[in-house]
């Protein structure tokens, strides 16, 4: 999903219809973005605990939604 030119609300609306995101993942994403908007637009200054929680939520979201790695292809051995 592309987000650079969308508002948080528009992005979350698209995310709500994205088949690869679970309800829990959408909820984590919405909470993270809501807090980010407070920092960005309302000049909210999060505490160290808030920053750590946000970091952990973002990290967890990335890990949960990262595409599975494809196994490396085995090089073919030439017959002698």
Q: Is the pLDDT of residue 49 over 70?
A: yes
79 belongs to a structural domain: no
33 belongs to a structural domain: yes
The rounded distance, in Å, linking the Cα atoms of 63 and 67 is 9
In this prediction, residues 70-74 reach a mean pLDDT of 65
25 belongs to a structural domain: yes
Please count the CA atoms within 13 angstroms of the CA of 37 that sit on its side-chain side. Answer: 12
Q: Which domain holds residue 38?
A: 8-64
59 belongs to a structural domain: yes
- Which tokens belong to 4? 């650079």
70 belongs to a structural domain: no
41 belongs to a structural domain: yes
The rounded distance, in Å, linking the Cα atoms of 52 and 39 is 14
The rounded distance, in Å, linking the Cα atoms of 54 and 37 is 12
17 belongs to a structural domain: yes
73 belongs to a structural domain: no
In this prediction, residues 52-56 reach a mean pLDDT of 93
- In tens, the pLDDT along 16-42 reads 888 888 999 999 989 999 999 999 999
């Amino acid at each position: 999903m592309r987000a650079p030119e969308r508002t948080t609300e528009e992005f979350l609306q698209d995310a709500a219809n994205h088949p690869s995101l679970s309800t829990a993942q959408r909820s984590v994403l919405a909470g993270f973005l809501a807090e980010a908007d407070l920092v960005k637009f309302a000049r909210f200054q999060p505490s160290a605990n808030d920053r750590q929680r946000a970091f952990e939520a973002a990290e967890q979201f990335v890990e949960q939604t990262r595409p599975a790695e494809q196994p490396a292809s085995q090089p073919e051995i030439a017959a002698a």
